[in-house]
Each structure stands twice: as C-alpha cells, then as structure tokens.
C-alpha cells in the first residue's frame, strides 16, 4: 500500500520537529543491560515508567541477571514488584522468561523479533522496545499511549488501535527514524502534548497540527 503523499509530507515535518526539540531523547526505563531493559519493559505494562524505575532499582540490586532472577522465589519477586500492578502475572512471566534466557541463551537477550516474542510475557511492542533501544535494530515503531495519541492529533493516523497505528507509521516514517520517533514522541507527550490539557500554544507543531480530537475550551 502506498502512503498518502500529504501524510508523508506531514510525517517529514514531524520528524524534523522532533529531532530539533528532543534530539537527546532516550528510553525512560533505567537499565544497565538488554536483559534489564526487557524485564523493565514487561513490568511497564499498565504502569508508569517512573514507578517501574523505582521498583527495578531494588529488583536489579537483588537479582541483576537472568540467572539470578530465574532462581528467585516467585513470592519474593511478587513482593518486590507489587506496586507495578498485575504483579502476580508479571512475576510469573519475568521468572519464566529469565529461566528461558538462562537455560537456552546463556542469559543473553536474543536479537531477533521472532525469538523474542516467544518468551513469556513478551509481545511485539516489548520486543520492539528492546531491539530498538538495546541493540539499535529498528523492527517496528513502538506505539504507547503518547505515540498513539499524538500521531492521531497530528493527522498521521486515523486509528486508535496500536497495531494499525504502527502499520500507518511504518508506511510514513523512514526506517532509520522508527526508534527515535517513539522516544521523542513520549517526551513530547509528557511535556507538551498532554492527554487532557495539551499545551498547544507552547508546541513546536502549533502551525502544522490539525489538532484532531483535541477539545477546544
């Protein structure tokens, strides 16, 4: 499917603006290794990055590697991650994926999408985060709530479904921009293009944004 030329031009303007305003934007999840990023990303489901960073500071101090976490009692893991929500299921998944990595991959995170999504608790979004951030491999566009909301407001997608939004963005964005686009959009969403009260007058996209779905007070 060929991308709409007008949307393609709009996407190019957005990429340029993001690069200018958030040149140094990085993944908000604190980690030292690809493995730690993988665990943190699993924990981030239905939870803020800030809360995850608080939790993982204690978790990784006690269990820094896949081998360590694989051997940890699940009740102890649950206690450490409880504040992230859905903690029983998350504890089960991060212990299971740690066992898998420790036993099958020498404790290392595999660098391909198909293998990653077979790990317990790991979906395409999580795999895209890890491959892009930890290894610089652009396998897709990570669509979180900020990326989805702002991409729609800017007229780059008409969908509210993350899978469809990613498909639209892959058509519009150069592959080399896939990783940074998400990091920068997340920063923009937190600082300016907020969910309820976007700071449109302070926004660098003010002149080009159609403000789709934004309530005018």
User: Rounded CA gap, 157 and 6, in Å?
Assistant: 12
From the list 90, 95, 125, 152, the catalytic residue is 125
Q: Please say whether the beta carbons of 156 and 168 come within 8 A.
A: yes
Query: Which residues fall within 8 angstroms of residue 95, CB to CB, at 6 or more apart?
Result: 69, 70, 72, 74, 77
CA torsion angle 77 78 81 82 (round to 10): -160
Q: Is 144 a residue of the active site?
A: yes
From the list 13, 144, 164, 194, the catalytic residue is 144
Q: Please say whether the beta carbons of 147 and 185 come within 8 A.
A: yes
Q: Is 194 a residue of the active site?
A: no
Annotated active-site positions, please? 125, 144
């Amino acid at each position: 499917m060929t991308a709409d030329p007008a949307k393609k031009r709009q996407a190019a303007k957005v990429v340029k603006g993001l690069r200018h305003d958030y040149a140094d934007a990085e993944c908000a999840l604190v980690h030292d290794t690809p493995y730690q990023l993988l665990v943190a990303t699993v924990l981030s489901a239905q939870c803020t990055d800030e809360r995850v960073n608080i939790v993982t500071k204690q978790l990784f101090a006690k269990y820094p590697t896949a081998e360590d976490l694989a051997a940890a009692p699940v009740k102890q893991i649950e206690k450490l991650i409880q504040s992230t929500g859905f903690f029983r299921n998350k504890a089960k998944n991060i212990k299971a994926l740690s066992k898998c990595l420790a036993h099958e991959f020498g404790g290392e995170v595999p660098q391909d999408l198909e293998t990653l999504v077979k790990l317990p608790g790991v979906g395409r979004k999580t795999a895209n985060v890890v491959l892009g951030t930890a290894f610089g491999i652009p396998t897709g566009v990570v669509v979180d709530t900020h990326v989805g909301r702002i991409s729609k407001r800017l007229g780059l997608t008409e969908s509210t479904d993350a899978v469809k939004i990613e498909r639209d963005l892959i058509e519009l964005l150069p592959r080399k921009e896939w990783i940074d686009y998400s990091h920068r959009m997340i920063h923009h969403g937190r600082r300016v293009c907020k969910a309820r009260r976007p700071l449109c007058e302070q926004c660098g996209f003010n002149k080009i944004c159609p403000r789709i779905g934004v309530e005018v007070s």
